[in-house]
Structure 1
């Protein structure tokens, strides 16, 4: 009802595609919501690459706070897309599309350059304070489809940021089985002085063998473990044992540990007692604009927003 002949044929063609994609020899009903999602995804895909050139992306930064002293040690750069039609989009709305169509290389290079330039600016604006590092997420396709080592070296040289003030985050699944070019790239970056962090550690393959052969310097514990500490009176003992074991293992290997999704002071206290090095989460701050981070540098207490 209310559908034109052309629209009806388009819907039928779309539904036929779904039926084949979901498994042949089956029937499928047209779903307006699923179709709207498909249309949105197609729209984002077709406009993503030009959006980088048009300057539609911005960066926000979430503090990484020392659990012992509450000082901001670094920030994680998080990209946002100011889409003219759909508004402000979080990374989970478009990063997967960017990885599929290859635009992640250009976008990732822009994020890296912008984050390094901003970190260097903070350092210039606060010369008497301890400089904070910036952490940037890297997709595995950036390692395969571009010369990441050359990109990082060039951006550090252009911006004047010291290598040890840059941290690159890769997911556990991205580094699993790393060999050949990815491993060589990670080793070259580490030799350069750049820190390598494993993001969402403990939720993927959790093959501890790669920790001894990859140039990793930081483990970021997935928030699922930290959420087990949320109820101070009824904390999950299994989560605490796992986190204790991971922190001890990391420290024995000379690695530092960051806990993600810290939302309560009780969680922070437990993580501090366990020996976790830094925390990241809404207890301290959400991702905010660069000028808000400038207010935190050198301050005794992290900003809460």
Structure 2
């Protein structure tokens, strides 16, 4: 919230566990946290993995719709590694897909990884979803993903995880 007040609104991504996404009170917990902190809902991104949704599909879809109604951003993390069906993808009210690093690591040298990433990017564009590539560690990966119109990148090439204090100093 402090960064937002300083005019540097940064989106914070939070991974949800399978237990959390299946909990009946999750929407109330998120709503309460937003109210207590005063954080703009658009700056909170909640990440789920494909496998967590499949355990209680209808409940998860209802929960995700309620979370989306709060104004938070929803993302599927580690996309491509779960056992999901594409039919679920079109039903989930998500905004973003995060391509798992296992596919990104072979780009652009490995033909199969490059083809999978291109397919995910095309599918996401057609579904109106933004895409984040996880595990970007080389300039060649970044150049290829940029040329392929990937929306965002995450990985050690761009910066290692930092505590909040260090992020504030880096932004100054």
Return the offset for 1:181: 2.7
Deviates more, 1:201-210 or 1:161-170: 201-210
Q: 1:295 to 1:183 in 2, by over 3 A?
A: same
Hey, what does 1:103 align to over in structure 2? none
Return 5+ residue gaps in structure 1 as ranges.
Answer: 1-119, 300-305
Hey, what does 1:271 align to over in structure 2? 145
State yes or no: 1:281 paired with 2:159.
no
State the number of aligned residues.
Answer: 172
Shift >4 Å, 4+ stretches = none
SS where residue 142 of structure 2 aligns?
Answer: helix
| Distance in structure 1 (CA, Å) of the matches to 2:150 and 2:94 | 17
| Distance in structure 1 (CA, Å) of the matches to 2:143 and 2:115 | 15
Return the offset for 1:123: 1.3
Hey, what does 1:291 align to over in structure 2? 165
Hey, what does 1:258 align to over in structure 2? 132
What is the root-mean-square deviation of aligned Cα atoms in Å? 1.6
Structure of higher CA gyration radius: 1
One of 186, 211, 234 as aligned partner of 2:89: 211
Return 5+ residue gaps in structure 2 as ranges.
Answer: none
One of 136, 160, 167 as aligned partner of 2:45: 167
- TM-score when scaled to structure 1? 0.54
Q: 1:180 to 1:211 in 2, by over 3 A?
A: closer
Return the offset for 1:146: 4.9
- TM-score when scaled to structure 2? 0.93
Return the offset for 1:219: 0.4
Hey, what does 2:2 align to over in structure 1? 121
State yes or no: 1:183 paired with 2:61.
yes
